[in-house]
Amino acid sequence: MRRIAIFSLTLAALIAGTAQAEVVRIQIDSRASLPGNTGPVGPYELIRGKFFGELDPKDPKNAIIQDITSAPRNAKGKVEYSATFSMSKPVDMSKANGFLYYDVANRGGMRLEAEPTGRVHLTSGWQGDIPASETLQYGTFPVAKGPGGKSIVGPAIARFVDFAPGAQSLPMRGGNAPGVPRPAPASMDTSTAKLVRHLKVGDAGEPIAATDFAFADCSKTPFPGTPDPGQLCVRGGFDAKYAYDLVYQAKDPIVMGIGLAATRDIISFMHNAPDTPAAPNPVAGKVKYVVGTGVSQSGNFLRSMINLGFTIDEKGRKLFDGAIPIIAGRQSALNIRFSAPGGSSFTYDGGNEGTVTWTRYNDTVRDEGTHSLLDRCNTSKTCPKVIETFGSTEFWNIRMSPDLVGVDGKADLPIPPNVRRYYNPSVNHGGGNGGFSTVTLPPPSAVQLPAQRCLLPANPNPTSDTVKALYVAMEGWVAKNAEPPPSQYPLLSKGELLSPAEIAKIAPAIPGKPHAGDVYNPFYDYDFGPQYNRVDVSGIMTKLPPTWRELPLLMPKVNSDGNEEAGVQSVNLQAPLGTYLGWNVMAGGYYKGQNCGYQGGFIPFATTKAQRMAAKDPRPSLEERYGDHAGFVAKVKVAADELVAERYLLPEDAAKLVADAQASKVLVPEPYL
């Protein structure tokens, strides 16, 4: 990579007359043109580099960061860090629309592209356990040390599941596959560790003797192999029928919570700092509004930023004008000693223990008191306007219902005036690829377990068009205080949320296909020990593996087709070609027959009444629904026009959907040969 410029940024240049520590140096590594049709905005460029910061561990705005007081300090008493960043922007900043979107990277990944809107997009590293990479965003954060510089030692956990049969050794990794390295063991002596294998989640498990496993690589050398702190070897190899839980004493925790402060500081710099030869800011003076966005894991991070008070910079300025957490129903398990922030809703992953509601809710079920995600920003008067969107998989896999009705599930919780909520019914995690095809897509792989396939074809029902319209609504809300479209989501008071058992009773029974019921990710209320702050998802996990109890969940009601109706129905759902499911079933492996994490399924309708009668399918055929191709296209147009009128769809996207329906093969007669 060609080095364009390296600039030093002094505190005096950034914060004249103050002693606050923010970004202290910017390093721009490259500039490149971005391809794409940007219309009158003109060409975009991509800027990549690093930024370097200092944090005052005594500043109350940083005090919540786990282990920051144990991080090494420089001569000024500050804690140093660095992280990567990337920015896409119009080359001619006079064409920018004034909005800076901070797009939270997802496990280091974030693709920035040119667009005709004039928006500036910024992303950066916040995850301190991602190894340095040319393609990923990552942070380089200090290791916490004990008195005299001694290593801090404490319990950590690594889980091994979904591996090739006969594997002799496996890497110790955390988070979604392929994951990132877990912290090194404090000792290679396995007598200080405990390894248990399980046939299913929640069983007592079978302990493995300390003499039968080793921190080692056995791929080339027989057990006990070559010592390696990053791998685990088992005598006789791993058995793919089992999941293996390793609890061990780890050392040298990275101060992961610095990722929250690093994100705050780079956003504040780009928004507020001037452009000088010593302190280059590519968007200086051109940013009027900042909107934070995050999808899935990244949306959880955004929710944690708000919950933990990182909505105000070190000079007391409001950080975000708006926030758009997408398909995110939890907090990020980041600000924890020996954390694995790349996790999700998998076994032992934290994030659901804390507050998840935008309104203040008294969690008597878990005895956590009354809290909301907005408590700290309400106190500092720095709360952003929030638009959240989510879909069916977030209920079936991410345990979303407590966000809407609390952990007790007794009543709908009102949302505050600065929050809008939009539910995309019958979609998978992030939505499908859209289109109007009667040809099913191949079964997807499980997100957390990519070696395993789901049983049903992929769900094509999209969400992207709705999300695009809501971005426009957010800009009007922030810049002009124009009200967004009304919130749309399932309500308990309207009978739109039911238990999985109730869903199973009303969902259509389709011969040869899996049925709704137990294919959901249970809501485990984990107890990680007394040093873990459950509300803030912060602190130290001392009880590993955790103990837990299962709490009830609710799911969106379905109609006689098996499709959901509450929320913002896409055009595809209003002119359905089949049953669009927010869940799928694992076809094999350790989780066979269970929820195929984060994936949805699709069961197409028969084309004709004769075909569906022969298959004993209770759902009306395409022919019975639409009559012919023209009837289908007419239904698509009506749905698109209504969504445009309600501002859930942009006119140009509506026109494309109608054109796609017209060009589709739905109920088009086969040519006579």
CA dist 308 and 381 (Å) reads 14
DSSP letter (8 states) at residue 336? B
pLDDT in tens, 605-654: 999 999 999 999 999 999 999 999 999 999 999 999 999 999 999 999 99
Q: Residue 263: helix, strand or coil by DSSP? A: helix
Q: Residue 54: helix, strand or coil by DSSP? A: strand
Block residue for tokens 């705050």: 264
Q: Which of 30, 38, 36, 35 is nearest to 95 (CA)?
A: 38
Q: What is the mean pLDDT of the chain?
A: 93
According to the model, what pLDDT value does residue 672 have? 53
CA dist 208 and 229 (Å) reads 19
Tell me the pLDDT band of 275, cut-offs 50, 70 and 90: confident
According to the model, what pLDDT value does residue 343 have? 87
Residue 44 has pLDDT above 90, yes or no: yes
Instruction: Find the mean pLDDT for residues 138-143.
Output: 98
Residue 295 has pLDDT above 90, yes or no: yes
Structure token pair of residue 349: 């992953």
Q: Which residue spans within 91-242 are E strands per DSSP?
A: 99-103, 120-124, 139-140, 153-160, 169-171, 173-174, 180-181, 194-198, 206-208, 213-214, 216-217, 226-227, 231-234
pLDDT in tens, 381-405: 999 999 999 999 999 999 999 999 9
Tell me the pLDDT band of 95, cut-offs 50, 70 and 90: very high
CA dist 527 and 543 (Å) reads 7
Residue 13 has pLDDT above 70, yes or no: no
Block residue for tokens 């609504």: 473
Comparing 2 with 84, the larger pLDDT belongs to 84
Q: Residue 266: helix, strand or coil by DSSP? A: helix
Q: Are 612 and 619 in contact (CB under 8 A)?
A: yes
According to the model, what pLDDT value does residue 388 have? 98
According to the model, what pLDDT value does residue 452 have? 80
List residues bridging with 289 in a β-sheet: 99
Burial label for 294, CB within 10 Å (0-12, 13-18, 19+), is: buried
Q: Which of 672, 669, 567 is nearest to 622 (CA)?
A: 669
- pTM of whole model > 0.85? yes
**Whole-number percent of the chain with pLDDT over 90:** 87
Tell me the pLDDT band of 19, cut-offs 50, 70 and 90: very low
Instruction: Find the mean pLDDT for residues 525-553.
Output: 96
According to the model, what pLDDT value does residue 265 have? 97
According to the model, what pLDDT value does residue 276 have? 75
Tell me the pLDDT band of 278, cut-offs 50, 70 and 90: low
Q: Residue 317: helix, strand or coil by DSSP? A: coil
List residues bridging with 419 in a β-sheet: 386
According to the model, what pLDDT value does residue 673 have? 45
Q: What is the dihedral of CA 60, 64, 65, 71, to 10 degrees?
A: 60
Residue 21 has pLDDT above 60, yes or no: no
Residue 3 has pLDDT above 60, yes or no: no
Residue 606: which region, alpha, beta or left (left: phi > 0; alpha: psi -120 to 50)?
Answer: beta
Tell me the pLDDT band of 154, cut-offs 50, 70 and 90: very high
> Taking the CA of residue 252 as centre, how many other CA atoms within 13 Å lie in the half-sphere pointing to its CB?
13
